[in-house]
Amino acid sequence: MSRVNIGLIGLGTVGGGVVKVLRENSDIFIKKIAVRDINKKRNIENLDPNLLTTNPYEIVEDPDIDIVVEVIGGIEPAFELLKKAIKNKKHIVTANKELLAKKGEELFNLANENNVVILYEAAIAGGIPIITPIKTTLAGNKIDKIAAILNGTTNYILTKMEESNVSYEEVLKEAQQLGYAEADPTGDVEGYDSAYKIATLGTIALNKKIDINKIHREGITKISANDMKFADELGYKIKLIALAELKKDGQVDVRVHPMLVPNTNILSTINDVTNAILLEGHPVGKVMFAGPGAGEMPTASSVVGDIIAIQKEINEENPLPMMKCTHKIKAEQTDIEETENKYYISITAANIPGVIGTIGEICGRHRINLASVLQKGVCKEDFAQIVVITETSKESDIQNAISELKNNNRIVKINNLIRVME
């Protein structure tokens, strides 16, 4: 293989891992690393300080650098830097899921115009290979559904809530102390991270451009210890699911929200910080990819794999043609109100005769059939805890029923509404 020079923008957790892995490869030479603070102490032995610069334009404008590796995250300055690098005919490797979700179309079009490649295996699921298999080994399939756990922080929190029967707030604090959750966990726990990832993954797998702004997104902050306990009793686990499905009418249903996953579904067994992606298509059927979705070395593994893939074809007239983005059709995305799901509803109600009948009557008026209704005990305030599982119903009907339930004097509180995976 040809010797290549790379410029690394960012030397945080992932960047440090890339440096450590590349020390084992003599054909890939790190010429320059852009950092915010040259004097910062780093967990990298014998790092040559002469490699460091605070000016990333030294990298994107250096004619000797073949590949720019961006691992700083966020939109700016990453977007402007990568645009400049592409115009200077440099190939790109990135782990930046937000940038791809929001600015990917512009970057990919620019890359095609300049006959360079953007690879981004690390941006979707850390160390799990998924983009390359979809574009190569699975290229003969029509993928029509993705159901995935794409965020290790939320999966860890939900796993510990289930195992320890404790609140979201308690587990979040523990996750922050262990380094699994950021000081500001909003990007993870509110589902933004998973939404960025499913936007790009869905575009590649379903072959239609997905608009990140049209993805329905809910996080895990409203999940309670009781929800976890009731779900377990009913034969489910609660997971934050990123879903992208090509419907029969050609629309694409893309969303991120908690779901009750049946214990018979393999996704229910994915615990702690592990990620998993379940693909359904023809002719392959169902295929699952699982493994470490984040972390220094797993993510560096994907980054370095992309660097080597480019290195192998860097002298070709049209390098890595199968990996280039050629998606032309914009997805017509289904509004969440038009989706159909089964639902788990947790209700606190007055402990009086007929209250379950009231719930049934209200649901019936909105064309909702109940699959099961369970009373889970009585609180000291003499309120009944009731759990309802519906049959498949339309989202707009469910929301209308919830509004009527909230306004009924027999209903004290709607504790939670969670969709159920079939």
Phi-psi region of 377 (alpha: psi -120 to 50; beta: other; left: phi over 0): left
DSSP string of 267-297, one letter each residue = GGG--TTEEEEEEEEETTEEEEEEEE-SSHH
Name the 3-class secondary structure at 112.
helix
Name the 3-class secondary structure at 42.
coil
**C-alpha angle 2-8-9 in degrees, rounded to nearest 5:** 150
Name the 3-class secondary structure at 78.
helix
Residues forming the active site: 197
Phi-psi region of 367 (alpha: psi -120 to 50; beta: other; left: phi over 0): left
Rounded-to-integer distance, Cα 422 and Cα 238, Å:
13
Rounded-to-integer distance, Cα 213 and Cα 385, Å:
37
Strands (E), 326-369: 340-350
Question: Other CB atoms closer than 10 Å to residue 233's CB: what's the count?
Answer: 11
- Enumerate residues 6+ apart whose C-beta is below 8 A from 205: 134, 143, 146, 244, 279
Rounded-to-integer distance, Cα 357 and Cα 363, Å:
10
* Cβ atoms 215, 234 nearer than 8 A: no
Q: Considering only CA atoms, which of 109, 284, 127 is closest in space to residue 205? A: 284
Q: Omega before 63 cis (within 30°)?
A: no
* Cβ atoms 272, 237 nearer than 8 A: no
